[in-house]
């Protein structure tokens, strides 16, 4: 009974798509994307902008990220906000391992995505050398609008299952790059449908 | 105001060390042996706060304007003292050769404990008498001292040509 | 000269000798030092506390990690606390988890580009970092006397507004650390307004690179005066709200008063500066005692506490927001017209418009931005008052266009070393209050 | 029989909710155990030394106090529900019963079970006065709820 084996290791999310389980799968994906909590992994300047995004003006509680959970046990998205130093790399890997499945990683800012302006001995040149990254948010620091755009892109990918397919295909992160949203934007950002 | 450097030939002696005035701040050039005594004497003079302790590696740019009687060495430990009463700063510059140790100022300036650890971590200058001389910024098993001039910046090659390569 | 290539190491997370050693290994003298005997207590008191039964298997104390990834350590500060029940016996801050090699990078960036590197050190008051770097460079160049008046007053305006936004964030995080979570919302609501003004003036919310050697990157935009006036009307009633929410509450006072006490001679011995030094009763403020820019023409009070505990530091920062607003009001009245940048050809690139017209302007622009301007050989130390204390910039230049050695004296690096002495004997919950009262920014601690 | 219906419904609801949440989490969550997930969370640091099993006794004493009052409440509850039928005698009975508990509580507190607060909390806050330049306008803050013992004293 392959269905039971699927449930055993992958949970309902892993059941192959068929008429009987179709609706449950969508329900699972919808609930995962709509209430994913961020793990506070604030390192440097981007952490201040991440706090700004959590603050009342930009308020990511609207997108289901009501609270930033400090402990990895209760977090779903790890937002790597800031430059990752060589001394911090094993700690980052340890916290990532301790996070519960399903988990995703947003690499916030150019320092996390590629070492940024600090191309030297002390900084890990891109956090994807340590953890599989799903969405890269550019900017130094990314404006809260850019971070919300990154989070919304991630939610969109979770909801239509794209992330799981990409992760299964490459074994690493979903590797989605978004453009920077200039601050103080009044025109709504349209997420291009995939 | 321009830099008023006293004449190089016979500099004013402060606690027996040649000194000069740069940008309105007294700079005392102590030798490695009397580094501790000069700092203690300045401590008695009323400079109770040791604001900063750092070092400079003069491997590449050895010839620099030093008053007479000061032999230029590779490293230079720079101690910045501040007196709250007189509102004055003094800078003690001590020449240290490669591999030599400097006396730690921890006994009368407890603030220097972390600063000396950082100088040891970044330059490899050992401070004897320091209670806990271990690395402070780099991981424990890191080899080499990054801020030395013969330590590469560790850049990974990038596609676009930065101006200052 | 064979250069040593850095060997990237990703071993386990234990830092060996840097960590707090258990009581059984540590020698008596070291134990006395770590128990603060050097500074605070008489030998007898420290001995009484220090010699709890230290045979290893009958271990009464527990060493725990308030590690790099912790909600209330304001970044990646790692504290190893030795606890006996709830009481903190010894504490050792372990830093370096955000070491970015900025001083090494500073040696390869020209003086024109140095601002972008320095501004990311203290990311709560980036403009003060740029200010101290620019003033040090100008002193080396010898042009610190003839910076245009408008540039000097604009620098003061931006520095004071940056102090306000930094202290507002302190109000937010200090409240949240101690349980007043709604304080985070109010603190950020005010800070957003100041950041919006910065965004209008400099184009960015943080890491502006707006104060450069020789003056500023651009002039104030039209309508900046009523923006600042709007700020000055909007924030004072909000501060009254903070007074009601925090200062007036007995729980808040009970949590902060008598916690993290530091005496005058201990603060001076540990070279703590800023609100920590002023909370012990020493009225030392660089803006008053060693004035720079035009702080001697502006009238404001030095805010001082007398008990040296976490409550005083909170009250000092709250009052300093008001003092900064008082200064900004005076700056508004006295902001002169004129150039926002020194007209000295050597330092200032030609205005954008002229580049299309004349060939020399194009060459001049190209040379300044690629090669940078040469700075005469020498060394200088300049210090100003950042929201966290005295931030100093020591530059040794060898006559080329990149600094030979650029060291920034970070106030948080020294203030973090006061943590063990403030936490001794307190509860673990007080440890959170003490860290928050020091308001460390790990970007400038680890540089 | 009718009056037991609400209790049964509540029981069913409670057990149902518990069961659903356990089963759902078993069903929904993919299981990928690794050693890090089993290790205790030490703020990102791999724990290098064993957590001590011994805990100071003060935690235990506080637990005991809680259990003592918990039991007292259990007996007071049925009395409170049927208080009108039981009359004055039972009222005094309950008062005597809780008085016994209160004596035990006073004894334990007197023995210092609850004051294991910070060692230096009672250290007198010496107010050393302000060291400032004479004629410097200094504003002293942080005095709410505390008396000032010495005036502006001492100048550098």
Q: In angstroms, rounded to a whole number, what is the distance separating the alpha carbons of residues B17 and C83?
A: 48
The closest alpha carbon to B163, from C247, D113, C13, C116, belongs to C116
Q: What is the pLDDT of residue D57?
A: 78
- Residues of D with Cβ-Cβ distance to C85 under 8 angstroms: 55-56, 58-59, 116
* pLDDT one-digit tens code per residue, A71-123: 888 888 999 999 999 999 999 998 999 988 888 999 999 999 988 889 999 99
Q: What is the pLDDT of residue D3?
A: 84
Task: Please list, in sequence order, all residues whose beta carbon lies within 8 angstroms of the beta carbon of residue C311, skipping any fewer than 6 positions away.
Answer: C253, C256, C257, C258, C259, C305, D142
Determine which of A116-130, A131-145, B56-70, D106-120 has the lowest per-residue pLDDT on average. D106-120
Q: Across chain D, which distance is largest between two alpha carbons, in Å?
A: 86
Which single residue is written with the structure tokens 């620019």?
C134
Model confidence band, residue C11 (pLDDT cutoffs 50, 70, 90): low
Q: Taking residues C418-429, report their average pLDDT.
A: 86
- Residues of A with Cβ-Cβ distance to C172 under 8 angstroms: 55
List the single residue in A49, A85, A121 with the smallest CB-CB distance to C206: A49
Say whether residue A92 is in contact with chain D using an 8 A CB cutoff: yes
Model confidence band, residue C272 (pLDDT cutoffs 50, 70, 90): very high
- Tell me if C370 and B143 make a contact (CB, 8 A cut-off): no
Nearest 5°: the CA angle C185, A151, C182 is 10
Q: What is the pLDDT of residue A177?
A: 84
pLDDT at D100 over 80: yes
List the single residue in C70, C101, C196 with the smallest CB-CB distance to A120: C101
Q: What is the pLDDT of residue A12?
A: 61
Rounded to 5 degrees, what are φ and ψ at C96?
Answer: 110, 0
Q: Which residue of C has its CA nearest to A140?
A: C207
Determine which of C193-197, C236-240, C259-263 has the lowest per-residue pLDDT on average. C259-263
- Residues of C with Cβ-Cβ distance to D143 under 8 angstroms: 306
Q: What is the pLDDT of residue D38?
A: 83
- Tell me if D132 and C302 make a contact (CB, 8 A cut-off): yes
- Residues of A with Cβ-Cβ distance to D34 under 8 angstroms: 97
Helices and strands (H, E) in chain C, number of each type: 19, 9
Model confidence band, residue C380 (pLDDT cutoffs 50, 70, 90): very high
Q: What is the pLDDT of residue C120?
A: 93
- Residues of C with Cβ-Cβ distance to D52 under 8 angstroms: 59, 62
pLDDT at B4 over 50: no
Taking all residues of chain C, what is their mean pLDDT, rounded to a whole number? 87
Q: How far is C90 from chain D (nearest CA, A)?
A: 13
* pLDDT one-digit tens code per residue, C224-247: 999 999 999 999 999 999 999 998
- Tell me if B156 and A119 make a contact (CB, 8 A cut-off): yes
pLDDT at A68 over 90: no
Which single residue is written with the structure tokens 């419904």?
D9
Q: What is the pLDDT of residue C110?
A: 93
List the single residue in D43, D52, D117 with the smallest CB-CB distance to C427: D117
Chains that touch B (3 or more CB pairs under 8 A): A, C
Q: Can you give the length of chain B in residues?
A: 165
Q: What is the pLDDT of residue C219?
A: 92
Asked if residues D30 and A10 have their Cβ atoms less than 8 Å apart, the reply is yes
Residue, of D137 and B125, whose pLDDT is higher: B125
- Please report the residues numbered 93 through 112 in chain C whose beta carbons come closer than 8 angstroms to any beta carbon of chain A: 96-102, 104-105
Say whether residue C54 is in contact with chain A using an 8 A CB cutoff: no
Model confidence band, residue C149 (pLDDT cutoffs 50, 70, 90): very high
SS3 C372: coil
Q: In angstroms, rounded to a whole number, what is the distance separating the alpha carbons of residues D68 and D56?
A: 20
Determine which of A52-61, C400-409, C437-446 has the lowest per-residue pLDDT on average. A52-61
Chains that touch A (3 or more CB pairs under 8 A): B, C, D
Q: How far is D33 from chain C (nearest CA, A)?
A: 20
Q: Which residue of C has its CA nearest to D142?
A: C312
Q: What is the pLDDT of residue C264?
A: 87
Rg (CA), chain B: 17
Q: What is the pLDDT of residue B1?
A: 36
Q: Can you give the length of chain D in residues?
A: 156
Residue, of C5 and C387, whose pLDDT is higher: C387
Task: Please list, in sequence order, all residues whose beta carbon lies within 8 angstroms of the beta carbon of residue A29, skipping any fewer than 6 positions away.
Answer: A13, A158, A159, A160, A161
The closest alpha carbon to C302, from C326, C266, C271, C331, belongs to C326
Q: What is the pLDDT of residue C19?
A: 80
Q: How far is B75 from chain C (nearest CA, A)?
A: 12
The closest alpha carbon to B77, from B63, B98, B61, B56, belongs to B56
Model confidence band, residue A46 (pLDDT cutoffs 50, 70, 90): very high
- Tell me if A70 and C67 make a contact (CB, 8 A cut-off): no
Task: Please list, in sequence order, all residues whose beta carbon lies within 8 angstroms of the beta carbon of residue C237, skipping any fewer than 6 positions away.
Answer: none
- Residues of D with Cβ-Cβ distance to C289 under 8 angstroms: 133
β C378-386/B88-96 pair status: unpaired
Q: What is the pLDDT of residue A9?
A: 61
Q: Which residues pair with A78 in a beta bridge?
A: A39, A105
End-to-end CA distance of chain D: 86
Helices assigned H by DSSP within B76-128: 112-123
Predicted TM-score (pTM) of the model is 0.88
Q: What is the pLDDT of residue C39?
A: 47
Q: Taking residues C136-165, report their average pLDDT.
A: 94
Q: In angstroms, rounded to a whole number, what is the distance separating the alpha carbons of residues B57 and B98?
A: 10
Model confidence band, residue A194 (pLDDT cutoffs 50, 70, 90): very low
pLDDT at C372 over 70: yes
* pLDDT one-digit tens code per residue, B52-66: 999 999 988 777 778
pLDDT at C435 over 50: yes
Asked if residues B120 and B104 have their Cβ atoms less than 8 Å apart, the reply is no
Interface of D with C (CB under 8 A): 42-46, 48-49, 51-52, 54-56, 58-59, 116-121, 123, 125-133, 136-146, 148
Q: Taking residues C352-357, report their average pLDDT.
A: 85
Q: Taking residues C280-293, report their average pLDDT.
A: 91
Q: What is the pLDDT of residue C59?
A: 60
Structure tokens at B30: 């102590």
Q: What is the pLDDT of residue C51?
A: 46
Model confidence band, residue C189 (pLDDT cutoffs 50, 70, 90): very high
Q: What is the pLDDT of residue C38?
A: 45
Q: How far is D47 from chain C (nearest CA, A)?
A: 8
Asked if residues D97 and D89 have their Cβ atoms less than 8 Å apart, the reply is no
Q: How far is D23 from chain A (nearest CA, A)?
A: 11
Residue, of B148 and C43, whose pLDDT is higher: B148
Q: What is the pLDDT of residue A168?
A: 81
Q: Which residue of C has its CA nearest to B115?
A: C414
Share of chain C above pLDDT 90, in %: 58
Asked if residues B151 and B145 have their Cβ atoms less than 8 Å apart, the reply is yes
Q: What is the pLDDT of residue B7?
A: 43
Q: How far is B157 from chain A (nearest CA, A)?
A: 9
Size of interface A-B (CB pairs under 8 A): 23
Q: What is the pLDDT of residue B103?
A: 93
pLDDT at C40 over 50: no
Determine which of C50-54, C117-121, C175-179, C265-269 has the lowest per-residue pLDDT on average. C50-54
Model confidence band, residue B2 (pLDDT cutoffs 50, 70, 90): very low
pLDDT at B163 over 70: no
Please give the full DSSP string across D28-94, using - where no structure is assigned: HS-----HHHHS---TTPPP-SPPPS---HHHHHHHHHHHHHHHHHHHHHHHHHTHHHHHHHHHHHH
Q: How far is A119 from chain B (nearest CA, A)?
A: 5
Task: Give the best-scoring range by mean pLDDT among B137-146, C1-10, D27-36.
Answer: B137-146
pLDDT at A192 over 70: no
Q: What is the pLDDT of residue C433?
A: 92
Q: Taking residues B115-121, report their average pLDDT.
A: 93
Backbone torsion region of residue D35, taken as left when φ is above 0, otherwise alpha when ψ lies between -120 and 50, otherwise beta: alpha
Residue, of C41 and A182, whose pLDDT is higher: A182
Q: In angstroms, rounded to a whole number, what is the distance separating the alpha carbons of residues A43 and A52?
A: 14
Q: In angstroms, rounded to a whole number, what is the distance separating the alpha carbons of residues C397 and A118?
A: 22
- Tell me if B111 and C271 make a contact (CB, 8 A cut-off): yes
CB atoms within 10 A of CB D73: 10
- Please report the residues numbered 128 through 147 in chain B whose beta carbons come closer than 8 angstroms to any beta carbon of chain A: 137-139, 142, 146
Residue, of D135 and C233, whose pLDDT is higher: C233
Say whether residue D38 is in contact with chain A using an 8 A CB cutoff: no
Q: What is the pLDDT of residue B9?
A: 55
């Amino acid at each position: 009974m392959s269905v039971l084996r699927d449930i055993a290791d992958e949970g309902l999310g892993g059941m192959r798509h068929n008429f009987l389980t179709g609706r449950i799968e969508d329900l699972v994906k919808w609930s995962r994307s709509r209430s994913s909590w961020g793990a506070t992994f604030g390192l440097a300047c981007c952490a201040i902008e991440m706090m700004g995004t959590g603050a009342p003006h930009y308020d990511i509680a609207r997108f289901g990220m009501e609270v930033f959970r400090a402990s990895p046990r209760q977090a779903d998205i790890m937002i790597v906000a800031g430059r990752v130093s060589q001394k911090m790399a094993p700690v980052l890997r340890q916290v990532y391992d301790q996070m519960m499945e399903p988990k995703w990683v947003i690499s916030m800012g150019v320092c996390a995505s590629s070492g940024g302006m600090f191309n030297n001995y002390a900084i890990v040149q891109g956090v994807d050398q340590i953890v599989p990254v799903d969405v890269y948010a550019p900017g130094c620091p990314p404006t809260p609008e850019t971070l919300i755009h990154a989070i919304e892109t991630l939610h969109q990918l979770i909801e239509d299952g794209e992330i799981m397919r990409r992760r299964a295909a490459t074994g690493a992160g979903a590797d989605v790059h978004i453009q920077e949203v200039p601050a103080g934007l009044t025109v709504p950002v349209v997420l291009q449908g995939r | 105001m321009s830099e008023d450097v006293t004449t190089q030939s016979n500099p004013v002696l402060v606690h027996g060390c040649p000194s000069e005035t740069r940008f309105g701040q007294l700079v005392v050039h102590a030798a490695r042996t009397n580094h501790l005594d000069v700092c203690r004497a300045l401590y008695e003079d009323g400079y109770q706060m040791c604001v900063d302790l750092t070092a400079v590696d003069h491997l590449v740019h050895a010839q620099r304007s030093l008053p007479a009687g000061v032999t230029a060495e590779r490293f230079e430990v720079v101690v910045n003292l501040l007196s709250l009463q007189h509102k004055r700063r003094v800078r003690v510059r001590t020449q240290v050769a490669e591999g030599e140790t400097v006396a730690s100022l921890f006994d009368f300036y407890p603030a220097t404990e972390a600063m000396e650890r950082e100088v040891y971590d970044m330059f490899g200058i050992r401070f004897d008498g320091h209670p806990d001389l271990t690395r402070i910024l780099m991981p424990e098993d890191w080899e080499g001292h990054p801020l030395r001039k013969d330590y590469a910046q560790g850049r990974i090659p990038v596609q676009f040509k930065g101006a200052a390569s | 000269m064979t250069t040593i290539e850095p060997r990237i190491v990703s071993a386990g997370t234990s830092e060996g000798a840097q960590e707090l050693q258990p009581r059984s290994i540590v020698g008596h003298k070291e134990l006395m030092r770590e128990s603060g005997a050097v500074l605070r207590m008489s030998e007898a008191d420290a001995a009484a506390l220090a010699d709890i039964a230290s045979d290893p298997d009958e271990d009464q104390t527990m060493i725990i990690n308030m590690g790099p990834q912790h909600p209330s350590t304001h970044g990646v500060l790692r504290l190893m606390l030795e606890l006996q029940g709830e009481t903190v016996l010894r504490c050792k801050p372990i830093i370096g988890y955000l070491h970015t090699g900025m001083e090494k990078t500073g040696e390869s960036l020209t003086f024109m580009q140095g601002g972008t590197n320095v501004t990311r050190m203290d990311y709560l008051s980036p403009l003060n970092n740029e200010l101290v770097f620019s003033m040090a460079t100008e002193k080396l160049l010898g042009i610190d006397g003839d910076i245009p008046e408008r540039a000097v007053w604009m620098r003061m305006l931006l520095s004071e507004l940056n102090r306000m936004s930094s202290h507002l964030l302190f109000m937010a995080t200090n409240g949240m650390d101690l349980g007043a979570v709604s304080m985070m919302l109010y603190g950020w609501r005010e800070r957003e307004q100041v950041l919006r003004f910065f965004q209008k003036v400099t184009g960015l919310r943080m890491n502006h690179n707006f104060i450069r050697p020789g003056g500023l990157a651009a002039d104030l935009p039209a309508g900046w005066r009523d923006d600042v006036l709007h700020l000055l009307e909007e924030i004072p009633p909000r501060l009254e709200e903070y007074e009601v929410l925090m200062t007036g509450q007995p729980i808040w006072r009970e949590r902060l008063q008598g916690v993290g006490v530091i005496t005058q001679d201990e603060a001076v011995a540990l070279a703590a500066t800023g609100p920590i030094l002023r909370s012990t009763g020493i009225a030392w403020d660089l803006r008053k005692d060693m004035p720079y820019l035009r702080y001697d023409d502006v009238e404001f009070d030095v805010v001082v506490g007398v008990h040296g505990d976490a409550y005083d530091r909170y009250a000092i920062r709250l009052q300093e927001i008001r003092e900064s607003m008082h200064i900004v009001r005076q700056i508004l009245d006295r902001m002169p017209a004129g150039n926002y940048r020194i007209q000295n050809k050597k330092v200032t690139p030609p205005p954008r418009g002229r580049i299309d017209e004349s060939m020399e302007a194009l060459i001049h622009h190209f040379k300044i931005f690629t090669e940078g301007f040469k700075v005469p050989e020498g060394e200088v130390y300049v210090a100003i008052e950042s929201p966290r204390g005295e931030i100093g910039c020591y530059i040794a230049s060898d006559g080329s266009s990149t600094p030979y050695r650029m060291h920034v004296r970070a106030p948080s690096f020294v203030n973090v070393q006061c943590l063990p002495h403030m936490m001794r004997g307190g509860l673990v919950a007080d440890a959170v209050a003490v860290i928050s009262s020091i308001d460390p920014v790990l970007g400038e601690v680890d540089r | 029989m009718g009056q037991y219906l609400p209790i049964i419904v509540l029981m069913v609801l409670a057990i149902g909710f518990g069961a659903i949440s356990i089963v759902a989490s078993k069903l929904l969550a993919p299981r990928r155990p690794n050693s890090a997930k089993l290790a205790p969370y030490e703020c990102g640091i791999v724990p290098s030394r064993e957590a001590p099993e011994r805990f100071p006794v003060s935690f235990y004493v506080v637990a005991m106090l809680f259990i003592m009052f918990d039991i007292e409440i259990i007996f007071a509850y049925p009395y409170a529900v049927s208080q009108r039928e039981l009359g004055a005698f039972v009222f005094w009975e309950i008062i005597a019963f809780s008085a016994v508990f209160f004596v035990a509580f006073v004894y334990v507190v007197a023995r210092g079970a609850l004051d294991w607060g910070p060692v230096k909390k009672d250290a007198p806050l010496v107010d050393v006065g302000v060291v400032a330049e004479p004629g410097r306008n200094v504003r002293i803050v942080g005095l709410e709820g505390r008396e000032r013992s010495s005036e502006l004293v001492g100048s550098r």
